[in-house]
Structure 1
Amino acid sequence: MLSQRKVALLALAALAIAIGLPFDALAHGISEADRQRMLSGGYLQYVGLGATHMLTGYDHLLFLFGVVFFLTSFKDVTKFVTVFTIGHCITLIFATFYKITWNYYLIDAIIAISVIYKGFDNNGGFQKHFQMKSPNLLAAVFGFGLLHGFGLSTRLQQLPLGDDSTSMLLRILSFNLGVELGQIAALAAMVALLALWRHRPSFKRFSYAANLGLVFAGVFLLFMQLHGYQHDSDPDSFRFPIEEHKHVHDDMEIEKSAADPSRDSLD
């Protein structure tokens, strides 16, 4: 058996990988290039964007990885993934169509909690720390599916969807189709990897560390999204607001000129 120290080191290594990703990759939002491309693109563009968004949606993928981690039969995988899919389709389609939205940093922060929840549950956290059975997993996956779909909706609403109801609905459904295709591709890779790993002795030894890594990654994502929300809601509350930062540079230039009068003559 691995010592707790080694387990913690493995979990921290997983977190270090997440921290090492560029911030743009972690943000997984809708870029300006995506917006411009959608202005002249057809429905297939929305399908492609939906697939890409899911395949780069680290928080959605981490949660799904936690859901299928201990599922050993195709029937169980299908059941839980279907429930999750129904949940996120409901909020993705209806919230987008009726323009129901919220701050996407806060939604993604709650989605990060779903990652923490799944890792905690997979490691028997409810039994160890609360002396109770885990909440109904099927209901939890459906509820989190609704939440993940709302997160996807907030990003989709940043795109030009048009004012015509029919065209808007078709764009939403196209994006949703892309999300499902991306999800299928990601899940196929996850399930295949887990199926191969599950038959090796290392699976039993490292499964606790892997799910502890999920918890740590979820905590990191939670703080990252809360930090993003603070920047978004009150950017001037940080140490160097834009105007203050500009003044600091101006003052530095004045001090340099005073210390070296030859700079002014050269200018």
Structure 2
Amino acid sequence: MTRTISHRLVALLLLGLIPLVGLAHGISEEDRQRMLDGGYLQYVGLGASHMLTGYDHLLFLFGVVFFLTTFKDVAKFVTAFTVGHCITLVFATYFKITWNYYLVDAIIAASVIYKGFDNNGGFQRVFDMKSPNLLGAVFVFGLLHGFGLSTRLQQLPLGDDPAAMLGRILSFNVGVELGQIAALAAMVALLAAWRHRPSFKRFSYAANLALVYAGVYLLFTQLHGYQHDTAPDSFRIPVEEHRHVHDDMNIENTQDDSLNTLN
């Protein structure tokens, strides 16, 4: 009983941090202007900062390495994720294959839910089955995460020259990998230190439950953005514009009710 309460308490405390996760990464107008005259190094820097503020990517990676105890295992799964997101990041951007980034980010949020659910033995407890092959799942989700990165990168002025465009894409990709290495180093060090403490066993379930909550929050945030964002190149709909959207919806509903009354 006490253990269940502690799990819920920690999950609720971690849940309080989730609004920070909602400040997910996008390509700002400042980034666009800076990249107009930016060289390859600027794209490397942008890729690194994009990954380090890409809370959805970081949460998924945190879930992937949460129970990995050896460098070999960490390297194996991170390599699968990296190969996956490099493929879609480079090819989708170069060939200008894109989709609504809210929906792509919603799928990425679902990957965070999946990993937290899997880490807590959800497949065994809920579906009475073994977890799907983790290495394959990480690779597939890597493809999705790379596509998400591509939809953001395509908001930048990459130019029309194929060679220069490829150089910018690869530079951004290098930055993403550097940011990922930095983030992973911190995650692995933190988990390695925590794993030797008694609290790890007590609160690992709560930590992954919070991961699920964070994924759900991100999922609904992206779906809400998809429904209400009227500017396809913006990441967040402004508060005032958001209010007007709802006002317009209320006016339309009122007009429909009036027509029904007259009829």
Task: Report if TM-score (shorter chain) is over 0.5.
Answer: yes
Shift of 1:4: 2.2
Question: Which residue of structure 2 lines up, in the alignment, with residue 141 of structure 1?
Answer: 138
Shift of 1:243: 8.5
Greater C-alpha radius of gyration: 1
Distance across 2 between alignment mates of 1:31 and 1:131 = 45
Whether contact under 8 Å (1:15, 1:220) holds in the other structure is: no
Whether contact under 8 Å (1:2, 1:205) holds in the other structure is: no
Aligned match for 1:64, one of 46, 61, 67:
61
Deviates further, 9-18 or 171-180: 9-18
Amino acid at match of 2:15: L
- Relative distance call for 1:5 and 1:179 in structure 2 (3 A) is same
Question: Which residue of structure 1 lines up, in the alignment, with residue 115 of structure 2?
Answer: 118
- Relative distance call for 1:175 and 1:104 in structure 2 (3 A) is same
Distance across 2 between alignment mates of 1:221 and 1:22 = 8
Q: Normalising to structure 1: TM-score of the pair?
A: 0.86
Shift of 1:242: 8.8
Question: Which residue of structure 2 lines up, in the alignment, with residue 9 of structure 1?
Answer: 9
Shift of 1:238: 6.6
Paired positions, count: 242
- Residues 180-215 of structure 1, C-alpha deviation per residue, up to 9 Å, x if partnerless? 000000000000000000001110001000000000
Q: Normalising to structure 2: TM-score of the pair?
A: 0.87
- Relative distance call for 1:29 and 1:239 in structure 2 (3 A) is closer
For the aligned residues, what is the CA RMSD? 2.2
Whether contact under 8 Å (2:15, 2:210) holds in the other structure is: yes
Question: Which residue of structure 1 lines up, in the alignment, with residue 48 of structure 2?
Answer: 51
Amino acid at match of 2:210: G
Distance across 2 between alignment mates of 1:141 and 1:160 = 31
Aligned match for 1:241, one of 236, 245, 252:
245
Q: Could you list the runs of 5+ residues in structure 2 that have no partner in the other structure?
A: 232-236, 249-263
Amino acid at match of 1:56: T
Whether contact under 8 Å (2:7, 2:202) holds in the other structure is: no
Q: Could you list the runs of 5+ residues in structure 1 that have no partner in the other structure?
A: 245-267
Distance across 1 between alignment mates of 2:246 and 2:56 = 30
Shift of 1:6: 2.8
Q: Percent identity?
A: 78
Distance across 1 between alignment mates of 2:203 and 2:127 = 24
Distance across 1 between alignment mates of 2:16 and 2:83 = 33
Shift of 1:232: 2.0
